[in-house]
Amino acid sequence: MKIVVKSSELRRDSPCAFVPTMGALHAGHASLVTKAHEFTDHVIMSIFVNPLQFENPNDLARYPRTPENDIELAANSGVSELWLPHYDEIYPAEIEKISAGFLGTLYEGATRPGHFDGVLTVVQRLFDLVKPRWAVFGEKDFQQLTLIRTLRSDVKIVGAPTIRDIDGLALSSRNILLGEKREHALVISQALFAASRESDLTQAQIVLHNILASDPEFRKDYAEIIDESPGVKRAIVAGWVNGVRLIDNMSMERISS
């Protein structure tokens, strides 16, 4: 695996698949690289903690950074080029800021104003510099994936399934901040799995809310069953455990509209 700092050092000899990340890599990121290999062996991963998508400076300061582990995991998962850009290359004096529009103000965007504007702005910039043919994003950040799909047509956006720990917790870079309260985060996936076994929408909503309410250490932000596309429902959940914001989602395949 080659490590590069400037995008001009990236190989241009074959179309690449791109896995943008903010580091603190885990098996979920490795699965994105595996997905990228379905398209090509030329897989570029970036690690850039994007200040523009953090509306809260404390959250940015606290975001986990594990550079040595990241390099090892990227190499072992099959990344061909690991790009570690400097801030100035991503954000030169003048760049176009992208608005995530109305969808960017809902759910995650309601609690984190401007978050998705920051995500779309950095992804657009990363795409401009890498020029990938494919780009892989996790379904765990479902709203992010949905918004990125609307960004441009020259990059094929590929979604990859959420990877979970054996006890159901969706892998997230933030999980290491949970510490001894980790077990309280399990209520999220327990609620999603239980709701997904229901075939009636109202019953699924009751199950979702009741299980989330059963753990006093989980502070709910939102828990909703939305229309992902005509006839397809998805439950989306966000909240805090031990001050750590967690999100998760699951397709509600048994509910028909």
Active site residues: 29
With CB under 6 A as the contact rule, the residue among 119, 135, 185, 236 that binds ligand PAF is 119
CB of 112 to ligand PAF, least distance (A): 11
CB of 148 to ligand PAF, least distance (A): 7
CB-nearer residue toward ligand PAF: 207 or 237:
237
195 binds ligand PAF (CB under 6 A): no
121 binds ligand PAF (CB under 6 A): no
Question: Of 47-86, which residues contact ligand PAF (CB under 6 A)?
Answer: 50, 53
CB-nearer residue toward ligand PAF: 50 or 175:
50
Candidates 68-76, 116-124, 157-165, 202-210 — which segment interacts with ligand PAF by CB under 6 A?
A: 116-124
With CB under 6 A as the contact rule, the residue among 16, 122, 247, 250 that binds ligand PAF is 122
163 binds ligand PAF (CB under 6 A): no
CB-nearer residue toward ligand PAF: 67 or 214:
67
Question: Of 22-41, which residues contact ligand PAF (CB under 6 A)?
Answer: 22
Under the phi-then-psi rule, with left for phi > 0, alpha for psi from -120 to 50, and beta for the rest, what region is 206? alpha
141 binds ligand PAF (CB under 6 A): yes
Distance CA 91, CA 97 (A): 10
Question: Which residues of the shown chain bind ligand PAF in the complex (CB under 6 A)?
Answer: 20-22, 50, 53, 119, 122-123, 141, 144
